[in-house]
Amino acid sequence: MGRQPCCDRVGLKRGPWTIEEDHKLVHFILNNGIQCWRTIPKLAGVGQTLFLSQARNNSIRQAILEPKASINILNCVTILSKSLSGLQRCGKSCRLRWINYLRPDLKRGALSEAEEDQIIQLHARLGNRWSKIASHFPGRTDNEIKNHWNTRIKKKLKQAGIDPLTHKPIDHEKYQQESDDTIMELNLPIHHHKTETLSRTETYDKSNEAENCAANATDFSLSNNAYHNVLSENFDVDLWSKSCKTMSNCYSPTLSLEAEESIKFSTVSAVTESSSNIEPAEEQDSLQQWMDSIFSCAVNQLEEDLFLLRKYN
């Protein structure tokens, strides 16, 4: 009997993660920790549904009293009800996304020369045991190091006349024959290797802007800065909407002014509304949850705006 797949793949989403999915996963793990990856997709998002029903009741009540002021909130809640189901991802995919991209202790930005040298030394000792190698670099993932090895370091070594497999100087005449023999000995399929030349982008360094963008996005989604700002008296809506924009720019480079304004309006309304309807003892938690929801909502609106922009441009 064959091994069963890690999950029922029917109806599960694959491919790149959306902001909303990231948000659900981060929210769940920060609140509940990691227990069983298989159950995380089902549970992520569910914790917010209780608050959703509260919010819906509040907003409906408010809509009756003050229709104009609360219409945006009501819209948000309606959209949220569609988006707050569990994650349509398998546990494996969640684990990968968390480990390689979302976890808060990840170090961002290009690997330094010193790190590269250390990778080369460790690879000479350990071979392609990427997780072992990565364990020497806190904040770096095995995937990142593996990718860096395959795209940069291998080429650099070859350029320097060093065989990346053996870490010994290349004997050019024997090199091709030996690697083919090795492949035959190991009974591995022979692939047609692309001719590898020094990368045209070898000198290209990730711009500070890109790094800041990633760092800002991480800060925003993982350290709950936005919530703390909202809770403090000097909450700056402009600053917050800029954070949203910066984060969204990591995914999509263009945003409409309307979309930006939409975020501001949702935020101000949300803060006003939720503050007036929640008991003081629960205020902070509820407000944080509300901000969670509003953030998802704002992102949904942005994505809808982008979709329309693309459709009609």
Contact residues for DNA (CB under 7 A)?
1, 3-4, 6, 13-17, 36-38, 89, 91-93, 95-97, 100-101, 128-132, 142-144, 146-148, 150-152, 191, 194, 196-197, 199-202, 204, 206, 210, 253
Q: Which contacts (CB < 8 Å, 24+ apart) does range 245-250 have?
A: 246/212, 246/213, 246/216, 246/217, 246/220, 247/19, 247/213, 247/216, 247/217, 247/220, 247/221, 248/19, 248/299, 248/302, 249/213, 250/213, 250/214, 250/217
**Least separation, in Å, of the C-beta of 280 and DNA?**
39
**Tally of CB atoms within 10 A around 89:** 22
Q: Whose Cβ is closer to DNA: residue 146's or residue 264's?
A: 146
Q: Whose Cβ is closer to DNA: residue 56's or residue 108's?
A: 108
Cα 149 to Cα 143: distance, rounded to the nearest angstrom: 10
* Number of Cα atoms under 13 Å in the Cβ half of residue 246: 19
Q: Whose Cβ is closer to DNA: residue 57's or residue 166's?
A: 166
**Tally of CB atoms within 10 A around 290:** 27
AA identity, residue 154: K
**Least separation, in Å, of the C-beta of 48 and DNA?**
22
**Least separation, in Å, of the C-beta of 70 and DNA?**
36
**Least separation, in Å, of the C-beta of 16 and DNA?**
4
Q: Whose Cβ is closer to DNA: residue 114's or residue 190's?
A: 190
Maximum CA extent, the chain: 85
Backbone angles phi, psi at 169, to 5 degrees: -60, 140
Q: Whose Cβ is closer to DNA: residue 129's or residue 174's?
A: 129
Backbone angles phi, psi at 144, to 5 degrees: -60, -45
**Least separation, in Å, of the C-beta of 87 and DNA?**
11
Q: Whose Cβ is closer to DNA: residue 249's or residue 277's?
A: 249
**Least separation, in Å, of the C-beta of 139 and DNA?**
13
Cα 224 to Cα 7: distance, rounded to the nearest angstrom: 31
